[in-house]
Amino acid sequence: MEQAITKGKKGFSKNMEEQLKHIAIICDGNRRWAREKGLPEMKGHQEGANAVERLIDAGIELKIPVISFWVMGVDNFDRSALEVAWLMKLNRIWGQKAFKKETLKKIRFRLCGLRDKPAPKDVIGIYEKLEEETKDNDGMIVNICFNYGGHTEIMDAMKRIIKAGVSPDEIDESLVESYLWTAGLPHPDLILRTSGEQRMSGFMPWQSRYSEFYFPEYNFPEMDKEKLIDALDEFKTRQRRYGKG
């Protein structure tokens, strides 16, 4: 694998590339960022969308194989009707804008979440079209966790396993993983949650068994390539034992 671009001594080494296959980001703190700056909360979500674009570009440059963004949880649809409507408008704009970006040719897009309510059908359709448009690309996988919940993912997998008529004796880890929304993706090596909150909120409970966690204090709209490199540098200091002592 070609050695990735680094900044000084920071970023990936060749050995690092071989170890880290997937970084997942819980995009937290958009509203907090806006409140701290005396701006409308919706502005925080808009800046969060801009941060996703910056980090996709940075991930391509750093040759990260898979990057996941948890941008909208199933539970987030319980927020005020006004905020949810704004978030859906933002997702429509972001998804349609992505079709026009040169970056789209360099990524393979994945939608990780329910393909049904509570998310609007047209927003799901935009993301499904992105999947279709990029399915033959061989670049970095961008896994957007939209309409996502970890418990919902596992329950959905269980329902489809039962519907498929799988015998209990046939059920093993590999089979369960093949029914998860992340099927075919490596488990996250590093899960980063911005805003200083140190909880997972149900994010990838199956896939995070041996993930490393990183909880920076800054809010998601502040995240950029430099902060992503800082996270990768922190990951390089971790000793991963995978339960072996």
Q: What is the DSSP string of 60-71?
A: HHHT-SEEEEEE
Instruction: Give the whole-angstrom CA distance, residue 155 versus residue 151.
Output: 6
Percentage, residues of the chain above pLDDT 90: 86
**Per-domain residue ranges for the chain?**
21-236
Fold of 21-236: Undecaprenyl pyrophosphate synthetase (3.40.1180)
- Give the pairing of strands 107-112 and 22-26: unpaired
* 28 to 14, 192, 201, 211, 221: CA distances (angstroms): 30, 10, 11, 18, 9
Which residue numbers are catalytic?
Answer: 28, 76
| pLDDT tens-digit readout, 179-237 | 999 999 999 999 999 999 999 999 999 999 999 999 999 999 999 999 999 999 999 99
Start-to-end Cα distance in the chain: 30
Residue 194 C-beta-side C-alpha neighbours within 13 Å: 26
Contacts of 128 (CB under 8 A, 6+ apart): 111, 115
For residue 151, the one-letter residue type is H
Contacts of 91 (CB under 8 A, 6+ apart): 71, 72, 123, 126, 146
Average pLDDT score over residue span 42-66:
96
Instruction: Give the whole-angstrom CA distance, residue 73 versus residue 67.
Output: 17
| pLDDT tens-digit readout, 157-180 | 999 999 999 999 999 999 999 999
For residue 13, the one-letter residue type is S
For residue 178, the one-letter residue type is S
